[in-house]
Amino acid sequence: MSNLGKEILIAVSGSIAAYKTCELVRNLTKEGFPVTVIMTQHATEFIGPITFEALTGKKVRINEYEEGMAHIDAKNSASVFAIVPATANLIGKMANGIADDLVTSTYLAASCPIIVAPAMNPFMYAQPAVQRNLKRLSDDGIILADPSEGVVVCGDEGYGKLAEISVIQKLILDAYKRNS
């Protein structure tokens, strides 16, 4: 299956759930969709960029100034921008217009549909500040892939686990098809 058009831009932030993004990227590329991955510096502490480079055949960018204006390049080529996983820190920056890395700068520059898939400890997810930030993103038109309920790595239980990859993938493909 060949899917022409702009690419799917996936941003990965620093969460243990980052490893699940590999399955998402693999699924999308296997179906013939063009995927590019960008990462926060913290994400590289959980999974190496070379993993995503192997899955996409494209260089992963982390530093917005390493080769020109990466945040503008990324936003110009994307039909959809998905942040999988999105940490409480990243969500807070996005909700408040803070652009201090490639992912947040790309977010502010993006004019395509944006999907955010939160992943964090259930107690963090339940915090009023995090809920306010998610509401602000939703009010701004961001599509949220609500987290699922379950036991997280630290043993706590509740809502905060990354949504199922199939759910995130469907949101991405629906937005991609509408915007390509």
Give the other-Cβ count within 10 Å of 134's Cβ: 23
Cα separation values, 133 from 34, 70, 124, 158, 173, Å: 30, 26, 12, 19, 25
Please say if 22 is a catalytic residue. Answer: no
Q: Select which of 126, 154, 166, 177 is catalytic.
A: 154
**Any idea which residue has 């690419």 for tokens?**
7
Interior CA angle at 125 toward 116 and 164, to 5°?
50
Contact 74, 103 (CB under 8 A): no
CB-CB contact of 179 with 79 (8 Å):
yes
Both structure tokens of 55: 């899955």
Alpha-carbon distance of 112 to 126, in angstroms, equals 29
Name the residues annotated as catalytic.
154
